[in-house]
Amino acid sequence: MGFHQISVRVNGNDEIITVASNLTLLRMLRETLSLTGTKNGCAAGECGACTVLLNGEPVNSCMVLAVEVDGQEVITIEGLAKDGQLDIVQKTIIEKGAVQCGFCTPGMLISARALLNRNPHPTEEQVVEALVGNLCRCTGYSRIIESVQAAAERS
Amino acid sequence: MTSAHPGLPEFDYVKPSDLSEASQFLALHVSDARPFSGGTDTFVRMRDGFFNPKYLVDVKNLEGTRILKFDASEGLTIGSAIPMNQVVAFSEAAAYYPLLVDAAKSVASYQLRSRATIIGNICNASPAGDTIGACLAYDGVLNVHGLDGHKKLPLKDFFTGPGKNLLKPGDIVLSITLPVPPKGHAGQYFKLGRNRLSDLSIVGVSALGYKDPSTKSGFTFRLAIASVAPVPFIPTLAEEILSTEPLNPDTINRAAQAAMDAVTPIDDVRGSAQYRKYMVRNLVKRAVNELQHKLTA
């Protein structure tokens, strides 16, 4: 099986990595770069636990090959805070108590950040649509949706 | 059986530098190479063991695959590497091809649509493909590169069975062109899933209608139905009834019944064949009513 050398910017750091053809972006982040905030849930593009930003757009990192991100930019949950300050959606999700087990939270936050980047003032329906690909088995979603709305109001 | 392990089976990733190299490679390795673009279907099926290619050929960077443009005479051309979200966000797609944008927005989730492509949806040739019906209703033509160079394949002849299409070894679909639609047309995608958002369809009805003085009813309707036959299904008798008879509730009921009678769904995990047939009747009726309302409002 072939290996490929790629250069990729992850959370602002330039990395040069040798990856196998079948290595997913998810595994590269978790196993090669030890960025374990990105979670492996279904490995089939359905649960959204592995959502990261690829060139600013949210993707399921289990559905992207590491070799495909050569020359591109990835932001994971570890890269959401800036200068020691949590992102506003991170703050509101804590304030609203919208976390129980926390497994879905990194993916939720990345999807929420991507939504607010493209639409700073979404309606509740637009928040729901943006989070359709992020499954939560604990909270029942209400507080998560409220957190995103609160973040939009404050930013 | 779906495994939650994040790994994919072993394969070699191949990124051809031009079209002829890509077509030749795919033709040479016809049984053990697969082209892919977004990978949203390919990777899942590889994990599930449905296929196990030796080579995955990335066709996203080839000439002609990144086009997304609208031309007032030729229509809309969407490259095979263009993710669905980009089509949805393209203002001329929303303005002139509302049915396509409606259908694309119904596919899975936003982050999956960052990668999923309309051409991928078409090439997979699933009877459930959400965007296929719109492409059929808009008379799409595929622009294909093969061993003998470029060719065009009308979408209406493309599907030959579940997961099967007319592509020959070495063929790569570069883009689809949807001609300029009739002025003032209305479109709507009615998707019935097990949940309101994100599921595959139990039944999906793509409907396009426009005022047409050349028909007896004064309207022409184009319908395509997902998940009810081995290929995306066009209920031609229903379409004919809707253009040759005065458009009233009785005509619409008979057209919906004709569509129900013509489909040949199967029982599967998402719904029974009988339920699907009833839903075809209900959704065709609802779709035509909705379009009539839009066209006469």
pLDDT value for B297: 84
For chain A, the average pLDDT equals: 97
User: Is the CB of A114 inside 8 Å of chain B's CB atoms?
Assistant: yes
The CATH-assigned architecture of domain B68-178 is 2-Layer Sandwich (3.30)
Distance (Å) from the C-alpha of residue A19 to the closest C-alpha of chain B? 11
Domain final residue pick, A20, A51, A77? A77
Separation of alpha carbons A142 and B177, rounded Å: 42
Beta bridge partners of B268: B271
Q: Is A118 a domain residue? A: yes
CA B57 to chain CA centroid, nearest Å: 22
For chain B, the average pLDDT equals: 95
Interchain contact, B13 vs A26, CB within 8 Å: no
Beta bridge partners of B226: B204
Average pLDDT over every residue of A24-33: 97
pLDDT value for B1: 39
**Is the confidence at residue B235, as pLDDT, over 90?**
yes
CATH of the domain at A51: 3.10.20.30
Same domain, A122 and A70: no
Same domain, A73 and A93: no
- Out of B6, B11, B109, the one facing A48 most closely (by C-beta) is B109
**Is the confidence at residue B6, as pLDDT, over 70?**
no
Residue A72, SS3 per DSSP: coil
Q: Is A82 a domain residue? A: no
Same domain, A62 and A94: no
Residues comprising chain B, all counted:
297
A22: nearest Cα among A3, A5, A42: A3
Structure tokens given for A150: 């609160």
Taking the C-alpha atoms of B229, B232, B237 and B239 in order, what is their torsion angle to the nearest 10 degrees? 150
Distance (Å) from the C-alpha of residue A96 to the closest C-alpha of chain B? 24
Per 3-state DSSP, what percentage of chain A is helix, strand, and coil (rounded to 5)?
40, 20, 40
Same domain, A118 and A67: no
State the pLDDT confidence band at B43, using cuts at 50, 70 and 90.
Answer: very high
CATH superfamily entry for domain B186-296? CO dehydrogenase flavoprotein, C-terminal domain (3.30.390.50)
Same domain, A95 and A143: yes
Domain coverage including residue A27 = 3-77
DSSP state of B147: T
What backbone torsions phi and psi does residue A135 show, to the nearest 5 degrees? -90, 140
Interchain contact, A22 vs B11, CB within 8 Å: yes
State the pLDDT confidence band at A140, using cuts at 50, 70 and 90.
Answer: confident
pLDDT value for A125: 96
Phi-psi region of A16 (alpha: psi -120 to 50; beta: other; left: phi over 0): beta
Average pLDDT over every residue of B89-104: 97
Interface test with B, best of A29, A47, A50, A60 (most B CBs within 10 A): A60
Interchain contact, B114 vs A26, CB within 8 Å: no
Domain final residue pick, A17, A48, A77? A77
Domain final residue pick, A77, A100, A118? A77
State the pLDDT confidence band at B4, using cuts at 50, 70 and 90.
Answer: very low
**Is the confidence at residue A136, as pLDDT, over 50?**
yes
Contacts 24+ apart (CB under 8 A), B1-5: B1/B48, B1/B49, B2/A42, B2/A44, B2/B47, B2/B48, B3/A43, B3/B47, B3/B48, B4/A40, B4/A41, B4/A42, B4/A43, B5/A43
Separation of alpha carbons A63 and A47, rounded Å: 12
CATH of the domain at A110: 1.10.150.120
User: Is the CB of A84 inside 8 Å of chain B's CB atoms?
Assistant: no
User: Is the CB of A57 inside 8 Å of chain B's CB atoms?
Assistant: yes
Same domain, A73 and A92: no
State the pLDDT confidence band at B5, using cuts at 50, 70 and 90.
Answer: low
Total domains in the fold of chain A: 2
State the pLDDT confidence band at B196, using cuts at 50, 70 and 90.
Answer: confident
User: Is the CB of A67 inside 8 Å of chain B's CB atoms?
Assistant: yes
pLDDT value for B192: 93
Chain segment B116-160, per-residue pLDDT in tens: 999 999 999 999 999 999 999 999 999 999 999 999 999 999 999
pTM reported for the whole predicted model: 0.95
Same domain, A43 and A93: no
Separation of alpha carbons B284 and B35, rounded Å: 35
Contacts of B3 in chain A (CB under 8 A): 43
Average pLDDT over every residue of B237-251: 97
pLDDT value for B3: 44
